[in-house]
Amino acid sequence: MNRDEIDLLKMLAGDVQWALDHLAQSDTQTARRNLIRCLVSAAEGMSWTYRMNIMSMARHFDEANPLIEMAFAEASYAVTENGVIVEQARHISLTAMIRLTTRVAQTFCPEVKVDFGVAGWSALKKAISVRNRITHPKQPEDLLLSDDEIEAAKAGFFWFSDMAMGVMEAAIKTFAADVRLAKDLIEKYKSGDPDTLALFKRAHQGLDD
């Protein structure tokens, strides 16, 4: 995770904490709407960081095929009648991207286990639906938020935060183990270890073939 990604998460966490504190001090519908917006915005920012880090490691393990690359970039391509390749933006929902990112992580880190049948996942989907409702209201009632909706939004956000961090932690451990293995091989190669030299020789011959 780079510095910009860390700074992004800190800013989003600060917004969420401010909204929680403000709601605790003054439980108004305005404060509730602000909290919902902050929670879902933070989930979107965290999903971006989750996506970028998992994709980076997937490339290392040669698990990032062109279809996955396009999906993560939220793009597709078309060819015009003039033979020109044109990139077309394709919106992928937050929930779909979270599930795709998790599936990609599992391709190189099989020990990652995420249960999308739990209450936290349902709560996150509910929070997104509520955020969409208050963002595009069609009647006054659309702007009113219940206690259950507020609690679901908080539960969904914190579930996703824990899940994403847990998956990234497991993926990083797998990545680190692979790096250590590569480092050990290089050290053995430098020291003239016969088995390692033979391994490198076979690999080189395979490339030549």
pLDDT (tens digit per residue) in 5-27: 999 999 999 999 999 999 999 99
Phi, psi (degrees; rounded to nearest 5) at 39: -65, -45
Give the helix, strand, coil percentages of the chain, each rounded to 5: 75, 5, 20
Q: What is the CA radius of gyration of the chain?
A: 23
3-state secondary structure of 65: coil
* Residue 41 pLDDT grade (very low, low, confident, very high; cuts 50, 70, 90): very high
Q: Where are the beta strands (DSSP E) in 21-120?
A: 75-79, 85-89
Give residue limits of the domains in the chain. 3-208
- Cα→Cα distances 177→7, 23, 116, 193, 205, Å: 27, 44, 28, 21, 26
Residues 157-208 pLDDT 10s: 999 999 999 999 999 999 888 777 666 656 655 666 666 556 556 655 654 5
Fill in the DSSP letter of residue 5.
Answer: H
